[in-house]
Amino acid sequence: MNPFAFFDIEPSFQVDSADLRKRFLANQRKWHPDFHAANEQMHRQALEQTAANNEAFALLSDTYSRVKCLLSIHGIDAEKEQVLPQDFLMEMMELSDLIEDAIAGNQNSREEAEAQIGQYFHKNDNTLNFLSKEADVSGFSREILLKAAAVYQQHRYLTRLRKNLSGITEL
147 & 91 share domain: yes
Confidence of residue 33 (pLDDT cuts 50, 70, 90): confident
Tens digit of each residue's pLDDT (9 = 90 or more) over 104-138: 999 999 999 999 999 999 999 999 999 999 998 99
Domains in the chain, number: 2
Segment 50-78 mean pLDDT:
96
Is the model's pLDDT at 34 over the cut of 90? no
95 & 39 share domain: no
38 & 91 share domain: no
> Which domain CATH number covers 11?
1.10.287.110
78 part of a folded domain: no
Tens digit of each residue's pLDDT (9 = 90 or more) over 76-112: 999 998 999 999 999 999 999 999 999 999 999 999 9
Specify the higher pLDDT residue, 52 or 33.
52
114 & 53 share domain: no
The reported pLDDT for the residue numbered 169 is 67
72 part of a folded domain: no
Instruction: Decide: pTM greater than 0.85.
Output: yes
Nearest to 134 by CA among 151, 150, 119, 147: 147
The whole domain housing 130 covers 86-166
90 & 52 share domain: no
Segment 29-58 mean pLDDT:
91
103 & 153 share domain: yes
Confidence of residue 143 (pLDDT cuts 50, 70, 90): very high
47 & 103 share domain: no
